[in-house]
Amino acid sequence: MKNLQDLTAIKEALAAEMAIRLGEVKDGAKYEKHVLMCGGTGCTSSGSMKIADELEKLLKEKGIDQKIFVVRTGCFGLCERGPIMIVYPEGSFYTHVKLDMIPRIVDEHLIGGSPVKEFLYEETVQEGSDHIKALDETEFYSKQNRVALRNCGVINPEDIKEYVARDGYAALHKVLTEMTPDAVIQEILDSGLRGRGGGGFPTGQKWKLARNLVPDADIKYVCCNADEGDPGAFMDRSVLEGDPHVVLEAMTIAGYAIGASQGYIYVRAEYPIAVQRLRIAIQQAREEGMLGDDIFGTGFKFDIDLRLGAGAFVCGEETALMTSIEGNRGEPRPRPPFPAEQGLYRKPTILNNVETYANVPQIILKGAKWYSSMGLGNSKGTKVFALGGKIKNTGLVEVPMGTTLREIIEEIGGGIPNGKKFKAAQAGGPSGGCIPAEHYDVNVDYDSLAKIGCMIGSGGLIVLDEDNCMVDIAKFFLQFTMDESCGKCTPCRIGTKRLYEILDKITKGNGTMEDLDKLEELCYYIKSNSLCGLGQTAPNPVLSTLRFFRDEYIAHIVDKKCPAGVCKSLLQFVIDKEKCVGCGMCAKQCPASAIERTDYIAPGKKLAAFAIDPNKCVKCGACIAKCKFKAISKQ
């Protein structure tokens, strides 16, 4: 690909095929139908690639492999229902697809022409009607606005041509042939795009600093943070798996803007599919001249290499990430100097997160005004969230900034399963905080969340219901940060351990009210004295649960009870003597011989009831599982 004509030619050649995937039938399409099979990590884990292979084999046997095209795409977002398969142009949405469903789908739908209703996503099928709802009319998709994820679940990520057919590399062409570096930076500044990795620093500002701070720098670097470490967050992984070229294109644009010729993507080794697709994408981009010495014949030179992380959460911090690329222990450095001045190998460097980059080409093509028209206040554009925990539609959603939490969880996410009550949403992972039910209508954007002591973070949103204990959740995150603290600075290394110990003491029923004051004091101390973002934000889960769920802490300390029934040491197993029939099954089962017969016989029962000695009970729960009469309960 040398010029705009080449890009246009590819786009036109594939136009009719790509139209099918948007539900339109145009003349000149080679295939009648496209079957899109999700090849993201979630669906692949449940065997989607085997299903795709089987489908292709069957199509060949039936002699219709020239009419029906099987595409392995990135993530569609509704991971809860995986493996997912969509048949276009009609947009039939098959969920929980299994190998044995394939023959029927081939015979009845792909050959016969009528979708197999019982395998379709139930919301798309209406009782007594032949009408099948289109995908974007469903609750899950209708409220979404996909910008960063626009190609995920649409294109084959291993084919650069499909990316080009969706306007890929057109932004790079525009930048290199029509815009000065300063104009590019101005466009990004005007769009209001802010870092999607957690910090929320204005992206254009970062680029401007890297361009101007050291005017005589011989080498500069562009880095991409794909070391998505927040447990429960998988936005970046989905972009890399579903649309790797968008990251390469955006990094090249950034390279032009700041005057760099080398880029590095630091990606988690735990994401094998993403790594593989990035490798393929880089190779294709090099072959097609989208990376290399003379991109689009403009003389601009840029190349990208991969660096694999090795499982250290702290490497998500920018200076630690750069230290790690250099081949060292990934310990953070004091700032200033900031990376824009002295970053990788002490050269001016910018580091942006995957999702941030995924927005850049669209901003260049559609303009800053278009982008900044979405969002709320100082939070422009859209944000991808990974919904997880106690929610019906686990998966990936992209909504305009400022959408309320209630809309995201109740309308898009489908609410809480099993008729339980919403208790809190944990946003921002180990650096973030909890949003309790009283703030269910909060606008999810940088500023509104900051006001209630929380943060968007990288976009993980874990929903908790009444069965989750908030003290236990705080302890879970502190165990995480304690393990992941790199040990370089004292407040973080020792402070997180002390926080963890106090929380552990409380969950075991040995806490005192003074511990709560100690916790708070220690939190503020760690926040203000730690070297890097990991330590500075590590106390957030404690502070935020203390702020909104103090009564739960007090219940653990004063009443020695865990209201959610999670903290084992505080549970008591009790036999209801009125319900006990005296069969003795529980006593036989008990490994600690803690259950003995009493001399009380309940009215209507023949044998004396049993009772549990709380001093001997090890709380294993074996008795509950054995009791047929539901006479034993946890209290």
Q: Which residues contact other proteins (rule: CB under 8 A)?
A: 41-42, 45-46, 79-82, 229-234, 237, 269-271, 307-313, 324-330, 345, 386, 388-390, 394-395, 426, 429, 460, 462, 464, 468, 473, 476-477, 480, 483, 486
Give me the DSSP letters along 134-163: -GGGSHHHHT---STTTTTTTS-TT-HHHH
Q: Of 378 and 569, which CB lies nearer to other proteins in the complex structure?
A: 569
Distance CA 74, CA 250 (A): 19
3-state SS string for 279-343: HHHHHHHHHCCCCEEEECCCCEEEEEEEEECCCCHHHHCHHHHHHHHCCCCCCCCCCCCCCCCCC
3-state secondary structure at position 456: coil
Distance CA 531, CA 492 (A): 8
Q: Of 313 and 553, which CB lies nearer to other proteins in the complex structure?
A: 313
Q: Of 319 and 468, which CB lies nearer to other proteins in the complex structure?
A: 468
**Helices assigned H by DSSP within 192-306:** 203-212, 235-242, 244-258, 272-287
Q: Of 354 and 464, which CB lies nearer to other proteins in the complex structure?
A: 464
Least Å from the CB of residue 198 to other proteins: 15
Q: Of 17 and 230, which CB lies nearer to other proteins in the complex structure?
A: 230
Spatial contact of 491 and 526, defined as CB atoms under 8 Å apart: yes
56: Cβ contacts below 8 Å, ≥ 6 apart: 65, 70
Least Å from the CB of residue 258 to other proteins: 20
Q: Is 604 left (phi over 0), alpha (psi -120 to 50) or beta?
A: left
Spatial contact of 458 and 198, defined as CB atoms under 8 Å apart: yes
Q: Of 379 and 393, which CB lies nearer to other proteins in the complex structure?
A: 393
Orientation of helix 470-484 relative to helix 490-507, angle to 10° = 150
3-state secondary structure at position 583: coil
Q: Of 360 and 486, which CB lies nearer to other proteins in the complex structure?
A: 486
Would you say the C-alpha torsion 298, 285, 206, 200 has a positive or negative sign?
Answer: positive
**Would you give the distance in Å from CA 507 to the centre of its chain?**
29
Distance CA 101, CA 58 (A): 12
Least Å from the CB of residue 414 to other proteins: 13
Give me the DSSP letters along 407-441: IIIIIIS---GGGPPEEEEEESGGG-EEEEGGGTT
Q: Of 166 and 220, which CB lies nearer to other proteins in the complex structure?
A: 220
Q: Of 227 and 445, which CB lies nearer to other proteins in the complex structure?
A: 227
Distance CA 386, CA 459 (A): 6
Least Å from the CB of residue 43 to other proteins: 8
Least Å from the CB of residue 466 to other proteins: 12
Least Å from the CB of residue 390 to other proteins: 7
Q: Of 163 and 480, which CB lies nearer to other proteins in the complex structure?
A: 480
Closest CA to 245 of 97, 357, 379: 357
Query: Tokens 């095209």 label which residue?
Result: 69
Q: Of 17 and 472, which CB lies nearer to other proteins in the complex structure?
A: 472
Least Å from the CB of residue 59 to other proteins: 26
Least Å from the CB of residue 237 to other proteins: 5
Least Å from the CB of residue 165 to other proteins: 28
Give me the DSSP letters along 589-600: H-TT--EEE-S-
Least Å from the CB of residue 344 to other proteins: 9
In Å, how far are 184, 230, 374, 449 from 441, measured between CA atoms?
Answer: 37, 24, 19, 11
Terminal CA-to-CA distance of the chain, rounded, Å?
69
Least Å from the CB of residue 591 to other proteins: 12
Q: Of 170 and 425, which CB lies nearer to other proteins in the complex structure?
A: 425
Q: Of 81 and 194, which CB lies nearer to other proteins in the complex structure?
A: 81
Distance CA 125, CA 129 (A): 8
Least Å from the CB of residue 429 to other proteins: 7
Q: Of 409 and 464, which CB lies nearer to other proteins in the complex structure?
A: 464
Least Å from the CB of residue 98 to other proteins: 14
- Name the CA dihedral angle for 35, 40, 43, 48, rounded to a multiple of 10 degrees: 50
In Å, how far are 15, 155, 292 from 299, measured between CA atoms?
Answer: 30, 30, 10
Least Å from the CB of residue 20 to other proteins: 27
Least Å from the CB of residue 467 to other proteins: 9
Q: Of 426 and 537, which CB lies nearer to other proteins in the complex structure?
A: 426
